[in-house]
């Protein structure tokens, strides 16, 4: 089979590169993205490798670029992104890049330091301006009531002892300090002053209306001006310490009004000059950042490519002459010629005369798993890899999942309207994918939706198809071809009776089914609509489930034949398929036989009333019983010889169990006795390894059990046999979730229509139009939020479970490890993160 159905064939190669050509060759391989290098120095510390200094230089360049990026984003300057990826620079160009980044960083840091100093000076002058204005108001108020205010302040601030001692010393002089403090600290500041100075200070404060910019971080801070009056040097010292503790800034404030006015004029002049200088500084900074923004993306790409190349070169070994680098790498077998051409281009670029050598090596190691994908299959492959990366050359479920996943989802989500909403959303993302992909975002939810745009589109399209089959659009039906049922009652009978029945045995039914999907007459059926849909959806859930599981078992046949695992083919695949077919596929056949042979128009005893229950028939088949419905003279069998065939089928199913349980272990034990080796080694190990999963041998990767004892083999085989036998029953029942979620989705849609939208449709007049608009908006929000998003997520998870557990467990091991090639595109997409490849 092609690589679409299995992973690519891989080869372990040894690569010899001349030292002067190694950089250019690895650069070409990085552009190609088809080589996974192995670390040949696993015991060497990262700081002791040959090219550690170059990696450090790249780290330093990245740090400088991140600093430039942060400053550019701070100013809101758009960065030019042409979408092109420049080639990795030559090693000699590193010096020019380092010099450019060093010059830009130093220039920007110097500009930032100057701007910060200017802003700090501007803040101080602005605060001083507000202090001079506010304190002038304080002093003007004091001069208006000078005698009274001074005497009251003096009495308030001087204790009795001071008043007595100072009676002979003349009038007391009050000192003051003025400053600004953060507004949120002001209440605590007042309390502390009152307590520490025992009420012997007088505080006046006024808010600064406009916020001030903090020069350190650019935040807007609200502050207040204060002035504190006190008496004595001791209080002055105490007040200043409290101001220092609350980080209040004190400024000199002259006592004389003329001095204050003169200082205020000088402050205003200096503020105007500072504004001019600050504007020029910001213009210069903006010009520097704009120039850097034009090349920043390309610089990041260049530096990350250089770093990735040197990091990869650190995985290589040096030969004894120190002139040749030796590497080991996994490469796809089909791409060896492409890789050799890339190596040749790298050698020509470097000017080396010695061509590189790529030798294929023989190995018994497990190769990595490499499945080629495109933008369409990538999301489906990601669903499979989330369960586990396929073992080497194991059957890949992804191509089949492209069809089965959206189909099983649609069985649960079937609604023409809801499917159309989902399909249109997916189609919009597909049409706009180039622009949306360029708008890189850290929003994980949006990245998940965009990454699965093709899955969403297909789920929507398939849901539209099943919606047509169910004849369901927003819980209503489409009468495209006209109902094939006709009323035989008059109008009064219909309006006056809640329960009326239409018999298919009479002229009420035309005798031919509705051309496509369900007849719209079922939409108006009140009591037996759910009964009819239950029977229909339950049966198709079992049918799809059994076919899906049989397909999974058949897939295991491809694994057994590819890996030539004869024991697993004979003692696992054949009994597993027989067990599933004679029990559960026979159950499916009974459904079709019943649909075909029993109808209301048939003669007795083949009428609908005599139709035997398939569930009872299946239970009787397993228990070797013959149950007959009481009070009915009906044949319990659907066809001649049914009892005989059912007995044979159950006996075959029972016989398959010991074959699955003991067949392979006994054959392995016989092979060991013949070889007289305990435990066996060599070629027979593949057969032993084939029992590591109930679905069969997965070989790929040579996962052998060299030391496994026979007791362990019997235990493992017993576990997997029990898991398969019991799982066949539970997995079949698990597919009933298709019926349950489909029914729940239809009922929720009907509830929203009848309890929300119908309220608006029943109103008349212009008020009814307004009311309908509001109700429709509410109904639309609930429909998208609950029925499309929440129900869609629920159906998605259930579909994922059906594929991971019920389908893939039949053949898929998923014990491999992913092929992680050295690729510049992947490294740049991940933001420059480089990880070591084992």
Q: Could you report the per-residue pLDDT of 542-565, keeping only the tens digit for each?
A: 999 999 999 999 999 998 888 888
Q: Could you report the per-residue pLDDT of 91-148, keeping only the tens digit for each?
A: 889 999 999 999 999 999 999 899 888 988 988 898 888 888 888 777 776 655 444 4
In the predicted structure, residue 671 carries a pLDDT above the cut 70: yes
Phi-psi bin for 482: left (phi > 0), alpha (psi -120 to 50), beta?
A: left
* The two structure tokens encoding residue 234: 């001791």
Instruction: Determine the Cα–Cα distance for residues 619 and 625; give it in Å rounded to an integer.
Output: 8
3-state secondary structure of 678: coil
Q: Could you report the per-residue pLDDT of 280-338, keeping only the tens digit for each?
A: 999 999 999 999 999 999 999 999 999 999 999 999 998 877 789 999 999 999 999 99
Is the residue at 459 inside a domain? yes
> What is the rounded average pLDDT of the residues 229-236?
86
339 and 225 co-located in one domain: no
In the predicted structure, residue 597 carries a pLDDT above the cut 50: yes
* DSSP state string for 646-666: HHHHHHHHHHHHHHHHHHHHH
63 and 128 co-located in one domain: no
The domain in which residue 191 lies consists of 122-158+173-279
3-state secondary structure of 94: helix
* Per-residue pLDDT at 603: 52
291 and 394 co-located in one domain: no
Question: pLDDT-based confidence at 705, cuts 50/70/90?
Answer: very low
Is the residue at 116 inside a domain? no
Angle at 670 between CA 668 and CA 675, to 5 degrees: 95
248 and 304 co-located in one domain: no
Of residues 258 and 739, the one with the higher pLDDT is 739
Number of domains present in the structure of the chain: 3
Q: Residue 232 maps to which CATH number? A: 3.30.70.2750
Q: Which of 222, 250, 279 is the last residue of a domain?
A: 279
708 and 803 co-located in one domain: yes
Instruction: Determine the Cα–Cα distance for residues 357 and 112; give it in Å rounded to an integer.
Output: 53
* Mean pLDDT across the chain: 85
Is the residue at 638 inside a domain? yes
Is the residue at 568 inside a domain? yes
302 and 426 co-located in one domain: no
Is the residue at 167 inside a domain? no
Instruction: Determine the Cα–Cα distance for residues 690 and 568; give it in Å rounded to an integer.
Output: 6
Instruction: Determine the Cα–Cα distance for residues 238 and 413; give it in Å rounded to an integer.
Output: 77
193 and 313 co-located in one domain: no
Strand intervals (E) in 249-313: 249-251
* The two structure tokens encoding residue 301: 């790409």
* Per-residue pLDDT at 707: 59
* DSSP state string for 465-496: HHHHHHT-BTTB---SS--SB---S-HHHHHH
Could you tell me the pTM of the whole model?
0.80
Q: Which of 261, 279, 297 is the last residue of a domain?
A: 279
Of residues 16 and 498, the one with the higher pLDDT is 16
* Per-residue pLDDT at 632: 59
Instruction: Determine the Cα–Cα distance for residues 747 and 23; give it in Å rounded to an integer.
Output: 65
* Per-residue pLDDT at 681: 45
225 and 141 co-located in one domain: yes
* Per-residue pLDDT at 687: 43
* Per-residue pLDDT at 835: 52
In the predicted structure, residue 697 carries a pLDDT above the cut 60: no
Q: Could you report the per-residue pLDDT of 26-52, keeping only the tens digit for each?
A: 999 999 999 999 999 888 888 888 899
Is the residue at 498 inside a domain? no
74 and 126 co-located in one domain: no
Q: Could you report the per-residue pLDDT of 749-777, keeping only the tens digit for each?
A: 999 998 998 888 888 888 888 989 999 99
CB 593 within 8 A of CB 602: no
* Per-residue pLDDT at 639: 85
707 and 775 co-located in one domain: yes
* Per-residue pLDDT at 173: 64
Q: How far apart are the first and last CA of the chain?
A: 29
Question: pLDDT-based confidence at 482, cuts 50/70/90?
Answer: confident
- Residues of the chain above pLDDT 90, percent: 49
Of 65-79, 223-237, 611-625, 630-644, where does mean pLDDT reach its minimum?
Answer: 630-644
Question: pLDDT-based confidence at 641, cuts 50/70/90?
Answer: confident
**Each residue of 219-249: b (16+ CB within 10 Å) or e?**
eeeebbbbbbbbbbeebbebbeebbeebebb
Q: Which of 258, 279, 300 is the last residue of a domain?
A: 279
CB burial class (10 A; 0-12, 13-18, 19+) of residue 624? exposed
* Per-residue pLDDT at 776: 92
Instruction: Determine the Cα–Cα distance for residues 602 and 721; give it in Å rounded to an integer.
Output: 45
* Per-residue pLDDT at 460: 96
Q: Could you report the per-residue pLDDT of 194-209, keeping only the tens digit for each?
A: 888 888 888 888 888 8
User: Which residue blocks in 603-753 are alpha helix, DSSP H?
Assistant: 614-623, 642-675, 685-689, 710-734, 737-752
75 and 218 co-located in one domain: no
Q: Which residues pair with 6 in a beta bridge?
A: 395
627 and 736 co-located in one domain: yes
* Per-residue pLDDT at 657: 94
* Per-residue pLDDT at 633: 63
Of 367-371, 561-565, 646-650, where does mean pLDDT reach its minimum?
Answer: 561-565
Q: Could you report the per-residue pLDDT of 20-29, keeping only the tens digit for each?
A: 899 999 999 9
Is the residue at 485 inside a domain? no
Of residues 405 and 563, the one with the higher pLDDT is 405
Q: Could you report the per-residue pLDDT of 484-541, keeping only the tens digit for each?
A: 888 777 777 777 777 777 777 777 888 788 889 888 888 877 667 888 888 889 999 9
Of 100-109, 131-140, 434-443, 697-706, where does mean pLDDT reach its minimum?
Answer: 697-706
* Per-residue pLDDT at 690: 41
Q: Which residues pair with 220 in a beta bridge?
A: 213
* Per-residue pLDDT at 602: 65
CB 18 within 8 A of CB 324: yes
* Per-residue pLDDT at 762: 84
Is the residue at 3 inside a domain? no
Q: Could you report the per-residue pLDDT of 262-295, keeping only the tens digit for each?
A: 888 898 999 899 889 989 999 999 999 999 999 9
* Per-residue pLDDT at 436: 87
């Amino acid at each position: 089979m092609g690589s679409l159905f299995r992973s690519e064939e891989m080869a372990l190669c040894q690569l010899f590169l001349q030292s002067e050509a190694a950089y250019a060759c690895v650069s070409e391989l990085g552009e190609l993205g088809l080589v996974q290098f192995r670390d040949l120095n696993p015991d060497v510390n990262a700081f002791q490798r040959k090219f550690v200094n170059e990696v450090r230089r790249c780290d330093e360049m990245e740090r400088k670029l991140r600093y430039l990026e942060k400053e550019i984003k701070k100013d809101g300057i758009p960065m030019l992104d042409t979408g092109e990826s420049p080639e990795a620079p030559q090693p000699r160009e590193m010096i020019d890049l380092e010099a450019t980044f060093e010059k830009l960083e130093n220039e920007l840091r110097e500009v930032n330091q100057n701007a910060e100093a200017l802003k700090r000076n501007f803040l101080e002058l602005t605060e001083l301006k507000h202090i001079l204005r506010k304190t002038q108001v304080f002093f003007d108020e004091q001069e208006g009531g000078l005698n009274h205010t001074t005497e009251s302040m003096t009495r308030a601030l001087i204790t009795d002892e001071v008043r007595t001692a100072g009676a002979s010393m003349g009038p007391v002089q009050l000192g003051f300090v003025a400053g600004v403090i953060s507004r949120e600290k002001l209440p605590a500041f007042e309390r502390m002053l009152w307590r520490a100075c025992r009420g012997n200070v007088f505080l006046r404060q006024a808010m600064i209306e406009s916020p001030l910019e903090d020069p350190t971080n650019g935040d807007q801070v609200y502050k207040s001006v204060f002035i504190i009056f006190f008496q004595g040097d001791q209080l002055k010292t105490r007040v200043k310490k409290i101001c220092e503790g609350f980080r209040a800034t004190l400024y000199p404030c002259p006592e004389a009004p003329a001095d204050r006015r003169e200082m205020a004029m000088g402050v205003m002049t200096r503020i105007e000059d500072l504004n001019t200088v600050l504007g020029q500084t910001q213009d210069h900074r903006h010009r520097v950042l704009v120039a850097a923004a034009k090349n920043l993306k390309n610089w990041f790409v260049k530096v990350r490519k250089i770093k990735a190349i040197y990091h990869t070169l650190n995985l290589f070994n040096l030969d004894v002459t120190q002139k040749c680098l030796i590497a080991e790498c996994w490469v796809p077998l089909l791409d060896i010629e492409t890789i050799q051409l890339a190596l040749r281009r790298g050698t020509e670029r470097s000017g080396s005369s010695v061509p590189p050598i790529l030798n294929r090596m023989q190995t018994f190691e497990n190769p990595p798993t490499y499945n080629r994908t495109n933008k369409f299959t990538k999301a489906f492959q990601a669903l499979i890899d989330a369960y586990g990366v396929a073992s080497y050359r194991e059957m890949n479920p992804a191509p089949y999942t492209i069809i089965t996943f959206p189909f099983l989802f649609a069985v649960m989500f079937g609604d023409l309207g809801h499917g159309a909403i989902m399909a249109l959303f997916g189609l919009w993302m597909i049409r706009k994918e180039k622009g949306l992909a360029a708008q890189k975002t850290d929003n994980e939810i949006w990245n998940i939706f965009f990454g699965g745009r093709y899955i969403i589109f297909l789920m929507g399209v398939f849901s539209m198809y099943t919606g047509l089959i169910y004849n369901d659009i927003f819980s209503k039906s489409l009468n495209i071809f006209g109902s094939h049922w006709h009323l035989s009652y008059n109008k009064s009978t219909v309006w006056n009776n809640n329960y009326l029945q239409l018999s298919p045995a009479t002229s009420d039914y035309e005798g031919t089914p509705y051309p496509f999907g369900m007849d719209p007459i079922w939409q108006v059926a009140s009591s037996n609509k759910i009964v009819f849909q239950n029977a229909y959806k339950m049966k198709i859930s079992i049918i799809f489930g059994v076919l899906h599981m049989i397909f999974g078992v058949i897939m295991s046949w491809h694994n057994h034949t590819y890996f030539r695992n004869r024991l697993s083919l004979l003692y696992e695949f054949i009994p597993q398929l027989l067990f599933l077919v004679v029990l559960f596929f026979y159950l499916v056949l009974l459904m079709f036989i019943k649909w075909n042979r029993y109808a209301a128009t048939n003669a007795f005893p083949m009428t609908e009333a005599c139709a035997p229950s398939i569930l009872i028939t299946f239970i009787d088949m397993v228990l070797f019983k013959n149950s007959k419905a009481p009070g009915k003279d009906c044949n319990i069998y659907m066809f001649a010889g049914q009892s005989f065939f059912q007995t044979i089928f159950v006996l075959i199913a029972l016989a398959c169990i010991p074959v699955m349980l003991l067949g392979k272990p006994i054959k392995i034990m016989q092979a060991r006795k013949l070889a007289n080796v305990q435990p066996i080694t060599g070629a027979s190990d593949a057969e032993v390894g084939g029992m590591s999963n109930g679905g069969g041998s997965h070989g790929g990767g040579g996962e052998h059990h060299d030391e496994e004892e026979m007791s362990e083999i019997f235990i493992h085989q017993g576990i997997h046999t029990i898991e398969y036998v019991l799982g066949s029953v539970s997995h079949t029942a698990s597919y009933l979730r298709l019926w349950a979620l489909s029914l729940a989705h239809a009922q929720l849609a009907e509830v929203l229509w009848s309890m929300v939208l119908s309220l608006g449709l029943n109103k008349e007049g212009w008020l009814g139009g307004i009311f309908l608009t509001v109700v429709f908006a509410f109904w639309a929000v609930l429909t998208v939020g609950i029925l499309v998003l929440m129900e869609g997520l629920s159906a998605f998870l259930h579909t994922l479970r059906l594929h991971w557990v019920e389908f893939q467990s039949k053949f898929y091991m998923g014990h491999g490890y992913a092929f992680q090639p050295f690729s510049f595109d992947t490294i740049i997409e991940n933001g420059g993160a480089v990880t070591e490849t084992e």
